Amino acid sequence: MVEHPGMALQILNRLVGLGCTLALDDYGTGHSGLDHLQRYPIDTLKIDRAFIEPMMKSAQSLEIVRSSIDLAHSLSMNVVAEGVETGVAHEKWLELGCDFGQGWLFGRPVALQDMATQCVKI
């Protein structure tokens, strides 16, 4: 995507045309920035776990997270909080309006072949 953005856009649009949805992983770090939000057909923004600790201790970091969630929602995107490991972090993400959480609070990583035995019908 970084080296060939035009080709990436064509491929992503074809995937969307087939019914796929796309998530921008690790938002706020590395190559996952604002440019991708305006260039590609992204449906879900996954906020990197690197923001959890700082947002709990810093008003500035908290505002960065809050504004990122608001931005995603204004663009009709869902928001996933990555790396949610504590109930306190979970409550904060809910308070901020995050749509989904991912992390050890909800379940440990498992191999694909073991997933069926660990899923519970609700």
Domains and CATH numbers, the chain: 22-103 (3.20.20.450)
Please give the Cα distance from 56 to 73 (Å, whole number): 22
Segment 79-122, tens digit of pLDDT: 999 999 999 999 999 999 999 999 999 888 888 877 766 655 44
Q: What is the 3-state secondary structure (H, E, C) of 3-22?
A: CCHHHHHHHHHHHHHCCCCC
Segment 41-86, tens digit of pLDDT: 999 999 988 888 899 899 999 999 999 999 999 999 999 999 999 9
Strand 100-101 versus strand 44-47 pairing type: unpaired
Catalytic residue selected from 3, 53, 63, 82: 82
Residue 1 reports pLDDT greater than 80: no
Active site residue 82: yes
Enter the pTM of the model: 0.82
